[in-house]
Every structure is written in C-alpha cells, then in structure tokens.
Amino acid sequence: MKNWIIREYDKELVDELKNRMGLQHTTAVILANRGIKSCDEAQRFLNKRYNSFFSAFLMKDMNLAVERIIAAVNGRQKIMVYGDYDVDGVTSTTVLYKYIRSIGGIAEYYIPSRTGEGYGLNKGIIKEFAESKGKLIITVDTGITALEEVDYAAECGVDVVVTDHHECREILPKASAVINPKRHDCNYPFKELAGVGVVFKLICAIDEVFFARSELESINKICDEYSDLVAIGTIADVMPVMSENRVIVDTGLEHIEHTSNWGLKALIEESGVKDKSRKITSAAIGFIIAPRINAAGRMGNAIRAVEMFLAEDMTAARHIAIELCATNKQRQLVENDIIESAIAKIEAEHDFENDRVIILDDDTWHHGVIGIVSSRITERYNLPSILISFKNEGYEGGEDIGKGSGRSIKGLDLNLALAHCSELLLKYGGHELAAGLSIEKANLDAFKKKINDYAREKLTTEMLNKSIVLDCEIKSEDVNFKTMDEINFLEPYGCANPVPLFYFAGSTILSVTPLAENKHTKLLLQNGNITINALFFGMPATSLKYYIDDKIDIACNLDVNNFRNQKQLQFVIRDIRISSDLTDYFSFKIKSYLECKNNPDAPVSASVIPSRDEFKEVYAVICKNGETCESTIDLIQLCRQLSQKRPKRFDLHKLFIIFDVFKELNIIGYTEDNANPEIRRVKVNPYAAKNPLENSMLLRSLKSRAVYTHIE
C-alpha cells in the first residue's frame, strides 16, 4: 500500500495569491507547491513570455564561445558538431548544425554509436577530423568530462567549444570555451537547462552578435525556427518544466502543432500521436515521440534521427520515420526479454534485507536498452538500480569491459554515488536520478559492495516506502470549470511541474462499470451535492476490491471529458483506498467487540451473533483465499465482499466472532498486523474443519447473553 503524503503549504502566501490575483484556492495551493514565493513570481510563472528569458551572456564563457564560432564561420573553417545519441543529443546536434549552416558556416555533424564507440568524445574521430583540415569541434550534450580528448584535440590543432548540462567535475576541460550552467563558477540564474537548452542559449547569443540584433529580436527568430526541437529535447531529458524551460516547452509545443520540419511532421503522422480533437502535450512527446527518436540511438545509429530532422522533403522524411517506428517496436521486444531476465535475477540473487541498490550484469543484454529496463526495475522495486552489460560489440576492452546504465530514487544522488566509487570505474557521469558508467569485470564485486555501503548511509527506511505526493485536498465545491480552466493554464506540465494530484475524500460508489473489455473501470461517485465519474485506467472492474455503497478516498487528477461536444468534469484515479471514515468505524467496532468479549456479564445483541450459514460462508472465503492453507486477509475488504449480496452491510462484529471461534476450535490460526489491525495473517488447519461450533466456549457465552429486541 502506498503512503499518501499531502504537501504542506504556506497558508499566508495562498491567501495572498487568492486575494491579489483572484485565483481559486486550489490553484493558489498548486502554485505554492511549485516553489512560488510571491505574487510577482506567480505572475512570471503564468506569463510564459519571451521576456522571461535571462541574457545568454550571463553564462560563463558564452562570449568566448560566440567569438570563436563566429571566427570559424567568417574564416570558412570546417566545424564539427559532436553530439550524444539520446533525444537531447539528437535535437542539440540538429539545431546547432542547421543554425551554423544557415549563417554560412561550413559544418558537419557526428554522433558516436552507443554500442560500438560509447558515450563522449572519441579520439579516433578527432584525428580523422584534424586530418580533413577541420578546425573547430563543438560538443553538444556531452564533453564536460572529456579532459584527455580535449587535450588530444589541441595536439591535433583542433579547438573545442564544450556545451553541456551534465554535472561538472572539479577540473574542467582546457577548451576554448566551456558552457555549462552547472559550472561552479557560473552565475547563470537557471541551472536546469537541457543540453539542447544550452544550445538554444548559444545560438541566441551568436545571432545577437552576428546580425547585430537586439536580444529579444534574436530570441523571437530562434524560437520561430527551432523551439519545436528544443522543446522535444527538453521534455525527453526530463528537465524541470520551470523558469526558462517552461517558456521553451510552452513555445515549442505551440510550434510543434504547425511545424515546418519535414522530419517532425512525418514522425507525428507515423506515430499516430496527432488526434485531431486534442493538442499535442508534453506527455505525448515524452511517451510517443521521444521513444521513437531514442530508438535510433539505442538499436542502431542516432545519426538516422538527425537525418530525418534534416530531410528536405516529406518523402525522405517519411521513409526514415517509418524506419524509426519499426526500430522502436524492435526495441520494445528486446526490452521485454531483458525485463524478464532481470526480474528473474533479482528474485534469485538480490539481498533485499541489506542491499539498497540493485546491480545486475549479463553478457547478452543489449547496451541500448538497459537504461530503460533500469527505469522499470527502479519503478517496480522502488530501489536504485544499475544494469551492466558485458556484451562484446566491438568497443575497446571487449568482454572484460561492461557498460552500465542506472536510475535512482529521491534520496540517493546517483552521480555522487558513482563519484564515491570512481576508483573502481573507467568512466561515469550523469545526473542525480540517471547516470552511466564503464567498469572492468574484475571490479564488479567491489563496486557492488562499495555503492551499497554508500547507499545504506543515504537511504532511510522511509525513503524506500512507495509514496504518492498529493498537492492538496479538493472539496466538492472546488470541482468546477473555473478550477479546471486555471489548472489548464498551469500547463505545460512535466518534471517539477507535474499534473496536479488531488486528495478527494469520502465519496460513495454509486456504480461500477467495466470499460474497453474490462481493461479499465469507471466509477460513479457521490460526494456532497455532486455526482462525478472517476476513471481508473489499467484497473479491470473484476480486480477492483471496492463495491457499490463503499465509501472511498481517491488520489486523482481533475480532467474534462469532451464527448460529442458535451463537456463534463471527471476524475482520473491514480490510487484508491477505503475512506478514513470506515477505518474509524473498524476501530469503533473492534473496541466494542473486545469490551463485550472480555466482560462475561455484558449483554450481547442477538443481531451480531453469526448463524451457522454465515460461519460456513466465511470459512469458504478463507479457504478460497488461502488455497495454500495460508493467506493475508483484510477484514474490512472481507466484510464488504460479504455485504454484496445482502440488503445491508455484513456486521464487522460478526466477523470478529467468527474468526475468534475458528481460532478457539483450531480451525484456523491467525496473527494480527500491529500497524494495520484490520489485517489478519491466517493459516487454515485442514484437519480441524469438522470441529462442532457448539464446542466453542466463546460462542456459548455470547448466546447465553443474547438480548433480542422487537427490531431484530
């Protein structure tokens, strides 16, 4: 069961946002939860205008980079744009290459093969470029740790401008310029740009100087031409959709709807993402468009994705888009095979009692897919995970060198954890929640021990419990279209600005309807003076453990159903639990039962003494639930299950009696969960089923004290 955490917020700030800006209470709380500290900040957050951008020249070394690149363009020097093989790298490479060509530069691009060459600058490519009289390499979404490679480029007579956004080490490359907002000596106000976001700032700065334009004129021009690809890279790299990223994504999503890029048009068509009745969202980019671009780098060569974005007609673009969609399907098949293999290894090998990081290795896993599988593993077990493949695919070191990809949970900065183990690694780098590495097989056991020792110090037991974080409780009176309109204005959503998640308490289920051949469920809820539909995607109605007349609490998003131009508000359920009112009811019932049980002189209402048929019914359910003679039973759920075919609720008092009588007669044994008193761990004794109920001292005592009323 997930822990539900309702965010705490500054009540004075919320009142100020409501009173000065005329916002709904719910919207004001969401803004406070997004880190907004004043009405001015809220206004900037809601504005999403170009004047929200900071000057590109606030970034350390930006002037040096602009000067060197313009000199290369004017001097007709050959320039190479050197990128990474993920979506951020592909879009960064495409944007910078297109821009340099557009101002007359002589440019080419290169992205290394993930399986053959691996991440980062490659000395072999540097040498080839130098021999072809190349003079300047500009790295995008990579290069911040390439100390040796940048030195080697200098020996070959090639200058390097590094643009990156990954975490910096203590020593930076000795390049002509190193642009990275995360440099410790960089005072740029916003540190969370994607690699393509850094490229966006770079070309805005070049444009401003090269054409002697104003800052705003250059920003307008660059946004018109490139914001679609910049937004895609930003979303795909899971950058926080705050500050400048919020403007980038909002502007980019608008341009994506009417993009002039043939490759993007073709991919939108072939992926089926464009539903004519709805606009393209961050979620559509993240879950549909981005994986197809990523597939090129994971399963083949990311250069194909760049070629698609550079296509000059629809025919060429569609050909590659179809190829990428097919490659993505192949990736999904490979991913599924690795997930099955990884889970089998975890269940057989992982020490859940002591190890805080799941580390798996294999000689057959595809390097391009292990990062996705690591995400799935971390999501499933709520533990950091690192998958390492020692598959030899032609890179230096062969089968003795493994390439790994990891994902983490909040509380363990994976980049810092790898830095702690750096003497055991050949290479490493990345972010707080995602990173990559290279390691010799001989160091694997020592690495597992060292990173787990580190993780045990950092991860508390609370961090390892799955939680769902809710923005606030939404009351029935707040469920209206004004709230919905304001929530829509908080878009675009994404990392650090998620779709608002609410706590909606105390609803009674009026109906339960299966949808899409029982793949999903629709609940009709009554709460106060409103009735509202709530959709539970991925939950078959036959698996739902909640019934008509149950009182439930839900964690949910507020949404609009637009059917035949009729708009209706609805909830999308993310989690569900029995209402706190019912857990209070359980506590009351068990207290009254224990008082009755422990006081031999207290009268007992005859209505709570179970009949023989009710004993049989409960026993049948216990045996069905515990086919292996042992099971965990939730008494509230069982009580509700037994209530379904009755005109009124099956009394919990009866259930307590039945369980205690069965225990007394050794028909079952049970233990209680101290943290959840409604939970019983039950073990059935198959040899005692025929013990007569009349032998129960407890049942005889209760019947002797039975009191009948005219109502009963």
Residue with the bigger pLDDT between 628 and 561: it is 561
Q: What is the pLDDT of residues 32-43, one digit of tens each?
A: 999 999 999 898
**What was the pLDDT predicted at 602?**
85
Q: Which domains does the chain have, with CATH numbers?
A: 54-258 (3.90.1640.30), 352-464 (3.10.310.30), 501-578 (2.40.50.460), 581-707 (1.10.10)
User: Could you tell me the two tokens for 421?
Assistant: 């183990």
List b or e across 195-229, with b for residues whose CB sees 16 or more CB atoms inside 10 angstroms.
Answer: bbbbbbbbbbbbbbebeeeebeebbebbbebbbbb
Provide φ and ψ at 112, rounded to 5°.
-70, 155
Q: Is 664 helix (H, G, I), strand (E, B) or coil?
A: helix
**Residue 530, φ and ψ in degrees, nearest 5:** -120, 150
Average pLDDT of span 143-157: 96
Other CB atoms within a 10 A radius of the CB of residue 690 amount to 7
Q: Give the pTM.
A: 0.78
* 479 CB neighbour count, 10 Å cutoff: 20
Of 58-62, 265-269, 427-431, the one with minimum mean pLDDT is 427-431
pLDDT band at 463; cut points 50, 70, 90: confident
Task: Supply 76's token pair.
Answer: 């007709």
Look at residue 278 in the predicted model and tell me its pLDDT.
67
Q: Who has greater pLDDT, 673 or 327?
A: 327
pLDDT of 275 over the 70 cut: no
Looking at the DSSP bridge assignments, the partners of residue 430 are: 435
DSSP result, 460-487: -HHHHS-EEEESEE--GGG-SHHHHHHH
How far is Cα 545 from Cα 527, in angstroms, rounded to an integer? 20
* Contact status, residue 220 vs residue 50, Cβ threshold 8 Å: yes
Which pLDDT value is given to residue 399?
65
Spatial neighbors of 102 by CB under 8 A, at least 6 apart, are none
Q: How far apart are CA 442 and CA 301, in angstroms?
A: 30
Ramachandran area for residue 35 (φ above 0: left; ψ -120 to 50: alpha; else beta): left
- pLDDT at residue 628 greater than cutoff 60: no
The identity of residue 338, as a single letter, is I
Structure tokens at 652: 């919990």
SS3 state of residue 81 = strand
Q: Is the pLDDT of residue 274 over 80?
A: no
Q: DSSP state, 443?
A: G
pLDDT tens across 483-525, in order? 999 999 899 998 889 999 999 999 989 999 999 888 999 999 9
Q: Alpha-carbon distance 107 to 99, whole Å?
A: 10
> Stretch 622-632: mean pLDDT, rounded?
69
Listed range (102-116, 124-138, 541-555) with the worst mean pLDDT = 541-555
Mean pLDDT of the chain: 90
Asked if residue 111 lies in contact with residue 302, where contact means CB atoms within 8 angstroms, the answer is yes
